[in-house]
Structure 1
Amino acid sequence: MDAEQSIADEPEVTEKRGLFGRNKLATSEPKPAKTLGPLKMIWAELAKYPGKVALAFIALVITAAATLAIPAGFKLIIDNGFAAGGNPDDIGRWFRYLLMIVGVLAVGTALRFYFVSWLGERVVADIRLKVQDNLLRLAPGFYEENSPSEISSRMTADTSLIEQVVGTTVSVALRNILMGIGGTIFLFWLAPGLTVGLVIAIPLIILPIMYFSRRVRNISRSSQDRVADVGSMVSETLGAMKVVQAFNQESREKTRFEGAVEAIFDTAKKRILLRALMTSIIILFIFGSITLIMWRGALGVSTGEISGGTIFAFVVTGGLVAGAFGALTEVYGDLLRGAGAASRLNELLKAKPSIAPPERPQTLPLPPRGSLSFRNVTFRYPTRLETAALKDFNLEVEPGETVAIVGPSGGGKSTIFQLVERFYDPQAGTIRIDGVPLASADPAEIRKRIALVPQDGVLFSSNARDNLRYGNWDASDEDIWEAARAANAESFLRDLPDGLDTYLGESGTRLSGGQQQRIAIARALLRDSPILLLDEATSALDAESEQLVQQALDNLMQNRTTLVIAHRLATVRSADRIVVLEKGQIVEQGTHRELAAANGLYSRLAALQFTSSDAA
């Protein structure tokens, strides 16, 4: 591999939050491992396809043998064909043998490429499926502690690196090992004396390449950092051009940019100098070694010790052997990077869900009633153990009751929802649904009894139908339209170019905020669960959208137990009971009129958040 090209492919280094809460340098490729041990995960996946592995290895052996047979074929042509007085029949026969070898090499290479590439893609597909399957089992708290963007990088960049290891690197390594060992045996058979000299020369060629390549790679990495600095500087300056010009800082920005560009040039000069020295030394050693071997071989030919075909085959095979051992140094580095990728993916595979069903889950009663009970619940988030989000929290919600939860930001309102869905377990106390403690039931069964309408109508990059039936995947189109009608979403869905088959864009960006929220409400309607969680569902909408969404919510809340985090007065007034939270504890509860007249925290919040007429 060309050293400069391999250096150009080095990833840019940027700092961001690492997996499992660590701050570390994250790159588009993982940090190389210290050993090849993590590659055991890859071998375990390969072991599932022994037939394909065997075929790939057979093709690998055939191609390595055919490659080494080519210089042997030329030896026969030179010694037997030309030495026989130039008889065309003899020369033709040996060349036909050589063409047969080339044909075998071509077929073997094609088979090797197919089977090795197939294994690479299959192994990567299997690993991605296993990792994704485990990620779907992990509680949402895992993704609050760990960066989803880094996890995504592991699913893409790291698996691609593993595909390269299986589909290319391992094959190259095995091929070069076979060619190196087989070629060395062939060289000793051809000319033992010359082979001893070649064995001494090969390390003299490889060691300078390794030394200079490492130095050039380090400098190139530094150069990439400087280039990244320039890119960041340009983006920052152009993005704030109005400020730059408003404060007459054009000359300063020009000077700053000149300094960054000159730093790139200074680093590039060092890389160019090292590259030039490396090239000259490599040429000197390689061609010097070939010249010395040819010189010694020519003397042997003149004295009759060896034939002309032997010296030709020796030089060609010697080049193949030297190239094979040289490539192994690069291959080992690639394997270490692959081991690093495997290690990072293995972390995801071994991550255990903090919320898991018990060995013998307790069955929830049928038919569902929709009651909720919080008894002496205390909860601290894993990332904020010093602060309790809820402290000795007690709340009983009767079936069919609508309870509004209000309070200052950070009071614990959203935490209640997270605990009800059993995304977390409290450190103390119990939460019950229909009388069954959540910790004793299967989380999947708990969530079947709950429908959620989030503050932002979270949609997926799919069509309208799939987004609507996400709450009930088996829903018919008739059911979908009925839910859309109840959610005040039917009219704009009918107007979409392809109706329910219309692609809504990434995260539903082709719809307005109000339309997204109404689809989220229709999705909850299709869920048809006895318990409804509304998380400030109208807080970010304009007046017209809020009215339509509120009407849809009124339809959705009928005959359901509803917990609603509310900042808007309309929802609060219609609630059977209002619970006021502050610092994780209930400080007030009652109806809107009762609390407004109590001159407590709710009354003060109402005066701040609502108009005076609304708060009265």
Structure 2
Amino acid sequence: MIVFLHKVINKIKDGYIKEMFIEGKWILKYVKLYRKSVIFYILLGILGTAMSFASSVASKYLIDAITGYDLSNTTFIVVTIIFMGVGSIATTAFSSRISAKINLRVDKEIQCMVYDNIMTSDWEELNYYRTGDLLNRLTGDVSTVSTAVLGWIPNLITRLVQFIGAFSIIIYYDYTMAVIPLISAPISIILSKHLLNKMKSYNVKMRNVSSEVMAFNDESFQNLLSIKALGLCDYFTNKLRAVQCKYIDTSLEYNKFSVYTSAFMSLIGMVIAYMCFGWGAYRLWSGIITFGTMILFLQLSSSLSSSFNSLLSLIPSAVSATTSAGRIMELTTLPHETIKTDSALHKLIKKQSHGITIEIRNLTFKYKNSRNILVNVNIYAKPGEVIALVGPSGQGKTTLLSILLGVIKPPPATAILKNYQGIICEASAATRPLFSYVPQSNTMFCGTIAENLRLVNPAATDDDIINALNITCAYEFVSKLPKGIHSIIGEKGCGLSVGQNQRLAIARAILKDSPILLLDEATSALDVETEERVLRNIMAVYQNRTCIVATHRPSVLKLCNRIYKVENKCITQI
């Protein structure tokens, strides 16, 4: 027996079952977090099951009383049946309400946790995932897990109580009748390992292809203007059909497996039901049991068989939940940005009004699994200076700015920030508050203009916002909008031109009032005159600001103190 148990344990530790065990433990920590509610939910389920059994037994005595023409206890039995029926309905309704509340709380908590992990994960690692895949994990997978937190263990215990209760009542009246419904157990156990592996495999496929569909849709909507402009609507529509065909094929493959499995188990259940009916009819014909006992047998044998099948049906839901848990765990285990604060950083931030000097020292950098992007790079920029980074696309200008922002981790002692007192810190995620940044892409969000600008400075007044807009020559068009700074713009600044959105983005960076300003092709959509006015305004108002501009435009260069050319992995001053 001990040898057999060891073999079973070893099998559990192998392959998919081992993965499910680890993922199940992860779900269990949320079950523990809401253990009081889970226990209460379990007790409600047990109470409902007990009422159902009481109603079945009472029905037996009612039928025996009627068929035996003994109506002395009929009123009491009828009242008991009605009371148990109403109680069962009330318990079910209350359970549903409790379940909905807890599911929403768990869903919200896990979703916030996953969202937070995504937001703070290492940028390079996160780039391996498509946006649609992340959205699918954040919504679909989280919903599956939150449902399992309150659904799986309570259902397991409730169904076990139902199974044991039905079995105990039946065996009290007839031993053979109790054994018949269990005939399917050996068959189910024999098939379980094969079914588990199949279910896990199909669930993984379904989740992946679902993520692929969502990722495609998300990418299409984000680039809708480009798709229309390039005349690619038909191409993307056909591509969507191809992605959907893949989803349909995978779904039908899983459905085929589910249908065959369900049909096989239903056939076994039907055979057992007929056997129970036949045995009950024989015992009734033999005069060994009453007609009421016969009805009770049929009810409880059905309950026994259904509870056993329900226990088996928990396996697919467990597989689905653990598969989703595994996909969520994959995100939670991504390496996070390192945010270390020390006394030097605090002093740097405290004295930032005096300006910050940037030094890039002998920087050599490459992304994971790629060749060097930058080799032995040296750059120097002090407060009050405007430094230009020029060069062909794809040579590393944006990478260099990402290193300064701490989005990408550089080698030690290569990206240095220094104040007038000589206090130094290495550029990292922790030093990001010292930077204002305007990226190449449009970064306006759905909401009012004021809300967009206050993202970086919630305490900013309307006058502060208007001042920043004036510096970037944006108030010229904002003042003409129906509600001024309180006018609503769409996602990615929909309703405004690219140049207008760029000026708003620069105004937001100005409003943050950080000692370092990074502009990554931030004026590319502005005309030369407006571009020059914006840059001169910035230089005039914020004389202690260190400004680095990545650009292709010669018109910017005449305003710069130094120009660095980025080409062939190297940077040279020109």
TM category, shorter: 0.7 to 0.9
Task: Give the CA deviation at 1:284.
Answer: 5.7
1:551 matched to which residue of 2?
533
Give the distance between the partners of 2:510 and 2:199, measured in 1 at CA: 62
Structure 2 counterparts to residues 478-517 of structure 1, below 5 A: 478-517=463-502
1:431/1:442 Cα in 2 relative to 1: closer, same or farther (>3 Å)?
A: closer
- Counterpart in the other structure of 2:108: 125
Q: If the length of structure 2 is used for normalisation, what is the TM-score?
A: 0.80
Deviation at 1:155, TM superposition (A): 1.0
Report if aligned partners of 2:388, 2:549 keep a CA contact under 8 Å in 1.
yes
Q: Partners in 2 of 1:219 and 1:142 — Cα distance? A: 26
1:357 corresponds to which residue? Answer: 340
After superposition, residues 16-27 of structure 1 pair within 5 angstroms as: none
Contact residue 344 and residue 424 of structure 2 kept, 8 A = no
| Structure 1 counterpart of 2:118, one-letter code | L
Question: Is the partner of 1:538 in helix, strand or coil?
Answer: coil
Q: 1:112 pairs with 84, 95, 102, which one?
A: 95
Deviation at 1:551, TM superposition (A): 2.2
Q: Report the equivalent of 2:315.
A: 332
One-letter amino acid matched to 1:502:
S
Candidates 498, 514, 518, aligned match of 1:533: 518
Measured after TM superposition, the shift of residue 554 of structure 1 is 2.5
Q: Following TM superposition, where does structure 1 have runs of at least 4 consecutive aligned residues deviating by more than 6 angstroms?
A: 204-222, 239-243, 267-274
User: Hey, what does 2:133 align to over in structure 1?
Assistant: 150
Q: Which residue of 1 aligns with 2:357?
A: 371
Structure 2, unmatched stretches of 5+, are 1-15, 221-226
> What's 1:298 paired with?
281
What does residue 595 of structure 1 align with? Answer: none
Q: Post-superposition shift, 1:401?
A: 0.9
- Provide the C-alpha distance between the structure 2 equivalents of 1:407 and 1:270, rounded to a whole number of angstroms: 53
Q: CA deviation at 1:174?
A: 2.9
Inter-partner Cα distance in structure 2 for 1:205 and 1:164: 25
Q: Which of 382, 395, 403 is the aligned partner of 2:379?
A: 395
Q: Check if 1:47 corresponds to 2:32.
A: yes
Retained in 1: the 8 A contact 2:125–2:335?
A: no
Between the aligned partners of 1:219 and 1:450, the Cα distance in structure 2 is 47
TM norm structure 1? 0.75
SS at match of 2:477: helix
Residue in structure 2 matched with residue 423 of structure 1 by the alignment:
407
Q: Secondary structure of the equivalent of 1:427?
A: coil
Give deviations 1:284-311, integer Å, cap 9, x for gaps: 6544433333332233223332121111
Is residue 53–residue 115 contact of structure 1 (8 Å, CA) maintained in 2? no
The separation in 1 between residues aligned to 2:113 and 2:302, in whole angstroms, is: 43
Distance change in 2, residues 1:447/1:218 (3 Å): closer
- Deviation of 1:486 (Å): 1.9
Is 1:471–2:463 an aligned residue pair? Answer: no
CA contact (8 A) 1:355 1:424 kept: no
Letter in 1 for 2:314: V
Give distance in 2, aligned partners of 1:554 and 1:195. 90
**What is residue 247 of structure 1 aligned with on the other side?**
none
State whether residues 404 and 565 of structure 1, in contact with CA within 8 Å, keep that contact through their aligned partners in structure 2. yes
Q: 1:68 aligns with which of 35, 53, 77?
A: 53
The equivalent of 1:414 in structure 2 is 398
**Quick one: distance in 1 between partners of 2:185 and 2:347?**
73
Could you tell me how far 1:383 is from its partner in structure 2? 4.3
- 1:177 to partner: Cα distance: 1.9
Per-residue Cα deviation, 1:12-43 (whole angstroms, up to 9, x for no partner): xxxxxxxxxxxxxxxxxxx9984233122232
Conserved in 2, the CA contact under 8 Å of 1:405 and 1:563? yes
Change (3 A) 1:73 1:33: farther
Q: Distance in 2 between matches of 1:531 and 1:569?
A: 22
Distance 1:144 1:218 in 2: 25
Q: Give the whole-Å Cα distance in 2 for the aligned partners of 1:556 and 1:57.
A: 65
SS at match of 1:363: helix
Shift of 1:455: 1.8
The letter for the 2-side match of 1:149 is G
Residues of 1 paired with 2:202 and 2:357: CA distance? Answer: 65
What is the CA–CA distance in structure 1 between the aligned matches of 2:536 and 2:198, rounded to whole Å?
A: 69
- Counterpart CA distance in 2 for 1:38 and 1:213 is 14
Please point out which of 440, 447, 467 is paired with 1:462. 447
Give the residue type in structure 2 aligned to 1:554.
R
Question: Where in structure 2 are the equivalents of 1:209-224 lying within 5 Å?
Answer: none
Q: Classify 1:438/1:277 alpha carbon distance in 2 versus 1 (closer, same or farther; 3 Å).
A: closer
Query: How many Å apart are 1:517 and its aligned residue?
Result: 0.6
Shift of 1:313: 0.7
Does the 8 A contact of 2:166 with 2:300 survive in 1?
yes
Conserved? CA contact 1:74–1:313, under 8 Å: yes
Q: Please state whether the residue corresponding to 1:47 is helix, strand or coil.
A: helix
Asked whether the equivalents of residues 404 and 563 of structure 1 are also in contact (C-alpha less than 8 Å), the reply is: yes
Distance in 1, Cα, partners of 2:129 & 2:201: 30
CA contact (8 A) 1:496 1:502 kept: yes
Quick one: distance in 1 between partners of 2:288 and 2:474?
93
- Which residue of 2 is the match for residue 138 of structure 1? 121
Deviations 1:379-402 (Å, cap 9, x if unpaired)? 222242xx2222111122122111
Instruction: Determine the structure 2 residue equivalent to 1:165.
Output: 148
CA distance 1:538–1:581, change in 2 (3 Å): same
The separation in 1 between residues aligned to 2:17 and 2:140, in whole angstroms, is: 14
Pairs within 5 Å for 1:242-253: none
2-structure distance, mates of 1:268, 1:149: 22
In structure 2, what is the Cα distance between the partners aligned to 1:111 and 1:242? Answer: 51
Q: Deviations over 1:549-591 (max 9, x none)?
A: 44223312331221111111211111111111222322342xx
The 3-state SS of whatever aligns with 1:575 is coil
In structure 1, what is the Cα distance between the partners aligned to 2:340 and 2:256? 61
RMSD of aligned residue pairs (Cα, Å): 3.9
Please state how far the C-alpha of 1:272 moved relative to its aligned partner: 8.7
**Shift in Å, 1:533:** 0.9
One-letter code aligned to 1:338: A
Q: Is the 1:162–1:342 Cα contact (8 Å) retained in structure 2? A: yes
Secondary structure of the residue aligned to 1:574 is coil
Structure 2 letter corresponding to 1:552 = V
Q: Does 1:581 align with 2:566?
A: yes
Distance 2:271 2:494 in 1: 65
Summarize the Cα distance change of 1:397–1:73 in structure 2 as closer, same or farther, 3 Å threshold: same
The CA distance in 1 between the partners of 2:408 and 2:196, in whole Å, is: 50
| 2:176 is aligned with 1:190 | no
Q: Is the 8 A contact 1:372 1:397 kept in 2?
A: yes
Unaligned runs of 5+ in 1: 1-30, 244-252, 590-616
Q: Secondary structure at the match of 1:346?
A: helix
Structure 1 residues 338 and 430, CA, compared in 2 at 3 Å: closer, same or farther?
same
The percentage of aligned residue pairs carrying the same residue is 24
